[in-house]
């Protein structure tokens, strides 16, 4: 178990249950969130609350951030570094840019602070159950130091390489999730149009080579068309943008990823950016002239 206070920044759909699991494991948590309501809810459960990032950094030996994307990660990390204690460790668990992750890790090192990029996969269900897949980039000694925290929040924890490697791995993850989600949507629409019940299709596919985690975790959303977000369309669109930007940097062609990204652009244009990313099903239905 890690000693000292653990700071936590970002109490959204993912951050709140992750922070709660750390508290339940006995960690002394200090939280900051732009929306005071979520912080107040955790305060009722025993968390300490601060009203600025510098104070959180000054009082924490390890700090976890769980933020929407690169702009927020950059701003928050720079503020944290202003007050960070020498020898402390910042663990960014947001989905962000590999290039930015490397730059921030360098800035942290110059101040005597460790930094990991450790994005997650598993959605809100994984965050609540503490079964997230965590892909961490950074120095091995920093990973080892953070491992007790990762074991509370995740079920599959892998040190994938140096700074930026975690974000590169998450970009790959988001490519697979998006394409599998779109393929599953196509299969469901084809089945329903041809008279096969969607739930029977999922049941049949789940026992063979087409079985996948997306279909398992998003089953009820696909069948009910109730798209309360576990992972928002707008965030997955951002993630695919990061993946394509990274691919350009390395000279890699991602033609299907580019196509699926445009489908997420269409969902946002239709006002569904705040829906769960499994709502790509609704777009396939509409392209097929089918009501959801």
Say if 292 falls within a structural domain. Answer: no
Say if 93 falls within a structural domain. Answer: yes
Count of domains for the chain:
2
Q: Note whether 144 and 254 are same-domain residues.
A: no
Query: What is the structure's pLDDT at 119?
Result: 97
Q: Note whether 108 and 215 are same-domain residues.
A: no
Mean pLDDT of the chain: 95
pLDDT, tens digit, 9 for 90 and up, residues 104-119: 999 999 999 999 999 9
Say if 200 falls within a structural domain. Answer: yes
pLDDT, tens digit, 9 for 90 and up, residues 99-155: 999 999 999 999 999 999 999 999 899 999 999 999 999 999 999 999 999 999 999
Average pLDDT estimate for 253-265 = 98
Query: What is the structure's pLDDT at 230?
Result: 87
Last residue of a domain, one of 163, 194, 224: 163
Write out the H or E segment, with its range, that includes residue 168: helix 165-193
pLDDT, tens digit, 9 for 90 and up, residues 185-242: 999 999 999 999 999 999 999 999 999 999 999 999 999 999 999 889 999 999 999 9
Spatial CB neighbours of 208, under 8 Å, sequence gap ≥ 6: none
Q: What is the CATH number for 90?
A: 3.40.50.720
Catalytic site includes residue 232 = no
Query: What is the structure's pLDDT at 2?
Result: 77
CB 47 within 8 A of CB 31: yes
Strand partners of residue 9 = 32, 65
Q: Note whether 100 and 68 are same-domain residues.
A: yes
Query: What is the structure's pLDDT at 291?
Result: 67
Q: Note whether 12 and 128 are same-domain residues.
A: yes
Q: What is the CATH number for 256?
A: 1.10.1040.10
CB atoms closer than 10 angstroms to residue 109 = 13
Q: Note whether 223 and 101 are same-domain residues.
A: no
Domain housing 21 = 6-163
Say if 255 falls within a structural domain. Answer: yes
Q: Note whether 136 and 152 are same-domain residues.
A: yes
Query: What is the structure's pLDDT at 1?
Result: 75
Last residue of a domain, one of 135, 163, 191: 163
Strand partners of residue 121 = 133
Per-residue tokens: 258: 């580019």
Q: Note whether 142 and 245 are same-domain residues.
A: no
**pTM for this entry:** 0.91
Last residue of a domain, one of 163, 191, 226: 163
Q: Note whether 144 and 180 are same-domain residues.
A: no
Map residue 8 onto helix, strand or coil.
Answer: strand
Q: Note whether 159 and 177 are same-domain residues.
A: no
Say if 181 falls within a structural domain. Answer: yes
Q: Note whether 191 and 106 are same-domain residues.
A: no
Q: Note whether 156 and 199 are same-domain residues.
A: no
Per-residue tokens: 141: 């000694």
Report the alpha-carbon distance of residue 252 to residue 246 in Å, rounded.
Answer: 8
* pLDDT band, residue 20 (cuts 50/70/90): very high
Does 292 score more than 60 pLDDT? no
Say if 1 falls within a structural domain. Answer: no
Catalytic pick among 5, 78, 170, 232: 170
Report the alpha-carbon distance of residue 53 to residue 36 in Å, rounded.
Answer: 14
Q: Note whether 118 and 243 are same-domain residues.
A: no
Report the alpha-carbon distance of residue 129 to residue 110 in Å, rounded.
Answer: 36
């Amino acid at each position: 178990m890690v000693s000292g206070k653990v700071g936590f920044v970002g109490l959204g759909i993912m951050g709140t249950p992750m922070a709660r699991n750390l508290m339940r494991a006995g960690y002394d948590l200090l939280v900051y969130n732009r929306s005071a309501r979520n912080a107040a809810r955790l305060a009722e459960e025993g968390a300490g609350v601060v009203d600025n990032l510098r104070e959180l950094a000054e009082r924490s030996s390890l700090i976890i951030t769980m933020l929407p994307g690169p702009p927020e990660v950059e701003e928050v990390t720079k503020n944290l570094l202003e007050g960070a204690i020498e020898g402390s460790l910042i663990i960014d668990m947001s989905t962000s840019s590999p290039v930015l992750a490397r730059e921030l890790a360098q800035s942290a090192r110059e101040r005597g602070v460790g930094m990991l990029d450790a994005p997650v996969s598993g959605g809100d269900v994984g965050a609540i159950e503490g079964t997230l897949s965590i892909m961490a980039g950074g120095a091995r000694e920093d990973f080892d130091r953070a491992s007790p925290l990762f074991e509370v929040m995740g079920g599959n924890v892998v040190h994938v390489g140096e700074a930026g490697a975690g974000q590169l791995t998450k970009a790959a993850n988001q490519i697979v999730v998006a394409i599998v989600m779109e393929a599953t949507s196509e299969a469901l629409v084809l089945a329903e149009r041809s008279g096969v019940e969607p739930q029977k299709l999922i049941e049949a596919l789940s026992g063979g080579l087409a079985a996948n985690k997306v279909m398992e975790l998003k089953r009820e959303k696909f069948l009910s068309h109730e798209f309360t977000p576990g992972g928002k369309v707008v965030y997955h669109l951002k993630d695919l943008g990061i993946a394509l930007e990274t691919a350009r940097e390395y000279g890699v062609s991602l033609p299907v990823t580019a196509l699926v990204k445009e489908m997420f652009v269409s969902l946002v244009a239709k006002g569904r950016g705040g829906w769960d990313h499994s709502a790509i099903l609704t777009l396939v239905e509409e392209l097929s002239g089918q009501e959801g």
